[in-house]
Amino acid sequence: MILVTGGTGLVGCHLLLKLVKENDRVFALKRSTSNIEIVKKVFSFYSKNDLKLFGNIKWIEGDLNDIESLSDAFKNITEVYHCAAFISFDSRDLKSMQKINVEGTANIVNCAIDFKVKKFCYVSTIAAIGLSTNKLTDENTEWMDNKNPYSITKKDAEMEVWRGISEGLNAVIVNPGVIVGSGFWKRGSGAFFTQISRGMSYYPSGKTGFICIHDVIEIMYGLMNKNIFAERFILVAENWTFKKFFEKVSQSLGIKPPQKQAGKLTMRFALILDYMSSKVRGKRRKLNSASIESSTSSSHYSNSKICKALNYSFRNLENSIIETCENFKKN
């Protein structure tokens, strides 16, 4: 039996679809406040039997920081996909991210050990990979401290998984880049599609790794089935500039792409304006230093390790964008 955390998120809900299609017996951990209707919506993008497939999921109410509910959820579980995370670049969310990303992962790892789970897959991020200054970044690139609270907590969460591995847990870590996928248009990479659809004048000056959600799921499933453990894998199909990504999304949506580049200086000026606006309106800031650094830095990631491990060929990223835009239009 398989347990999935973060089933109402982008990776989690697409993973659930894969698992129920494979006729696996699937349990999904959800909080009392979670909206499982989004999972039905995502299923409907890919299958006419969406309601039947959704009905094959056994939802369990619980929390990453509630040991009692986790103990109930882990009974008779043999495999775990830990996808749950708090994603934010805002330093004000650091305590919440430490609680969910780090302590929550420690709790999941401890339960996996205590209940003798046979296989464990942890979804991390390329933000937890060190950055090379003059060549390809790979899984062995040395970590450098930074001020990105999400990056820090995901790195610390990985250390909890490595601790579990040292204690005998069969676990594997995946580090996806920016994931192109459908259903979550207000957060993560999905927010790009929403912002671009409304018209944008500027695009960030940076470059990073992108990957289709279907590739992420197929690789996670493949690693678990091939019993590949005690390893971490960068999951990136292609390294693109944000300019290219914004242009491809704009083209698929049939709108004019942004024409002006926003470098660090422009973004920092926007940061000041955003700060002033938030004070006047009493609303949460939209920009912060970590997000600016992320969107204006140029990073180039290697996918050679995962390609060799699974003999894997990635989907065409442009086709993935077209599919995602078509689903966005249905929203």
Q: Which domains does the chain have, with CATH numbers?
A: 2-182+208-239+299-317 (3.40.50.720)
Name 122's bridge partners: 82, 173
**Cα gap 60→238, rounded to integer Å:** 36
Residue 142 pLDDT: 85
pLDDT at 288: 59
The three-state secondary structure class of 65 is coil
The pLDDT confidence band at residue 205, using thresholds 50, 70 and 90, is confident
Q: Which of 190, 213, 178 is nearest to 328 (CA)?
A: 190
Amino acid at 188: G
Q: Enter the pTM of the model.
A: 0.92
Distances (CA, A) of 278 to 92, 191, 199, 252: 14, 20, 22, 33
Which one is predicted more confidently, 204 or 165? 165
CA distance linking residue 53 with residue 123, whole number of Å = 23
* Per-residue pLDDT at 192 exceeds 80: yes
For residues 191-197, average pLDDT: 92
Pick the more confident residue, 64 or 265: 64
Rg, Å, the chain Cα set:
19
Residue 262, pLDDT score: 77
Cα torsion 15, 152, 148, 64: sign: positive
Dihedral angle computed from the Cα positions of residues 317, 322, 323 and 324, in that order, rounded to the nearest 10 degrees: 90
Yes or no: say if 141 and 90 are a contact pair by the CB < 8 Å rule. Answer: no
pLDDT at 269: 46
- Give the three-state DSSP class for 211: strand
Q: How large is the average pLDDT for residues 163-180?
A: 97
pLDDT tens readout for residues 74-96:
999 999 999 999 988 777 888 99
Say if residue 58's pLDDT is above 50. Answer: yes
| pLDDT digit string, tens, across residues 278-331 | 555 556 656 556 566 667 778 899 999 999 999 999 999 999 999 999 999 987
For the stretch 8-54, pLDDT in tens is 999 999 999 999 999 889 999 999 889 999 999 999 999 999 999 99
Euclidean distance between the first and the last CA atom of the chain, given in angstroms as a whole number = 33
Q: What are the beta bridge partners of residue 260?
A: 202
Contact 112/152 with Cβ under 8 angstroms?
Answer: no
Q: Residue 209 above 90 pLDDT?
A: yes
Mind listing the pLDDT tens digit for each residue in 98-119?
Answer: 999 999 999 999 999 999 999 9
Q: Which helix (H) or strand (E) holds 136?
A: none
pLDDT at 219 over 70: yes
Q: Is 177 exposed, middle or buried (0-12, 13-18, 19+ CB in 10 A)?
A: buried
Q: Which of 127-141, 249-263, 278-292 bottoms out in mean pLDDT, i.e. has the lowest?
A: 278-292
Q: State the DSSP code for 66.
A: -
Residue 160 has pLDDT above 70, yes or no: yes
Average pLDDT, the chain: 90
Helix, coil or strand: residue 186 = coil
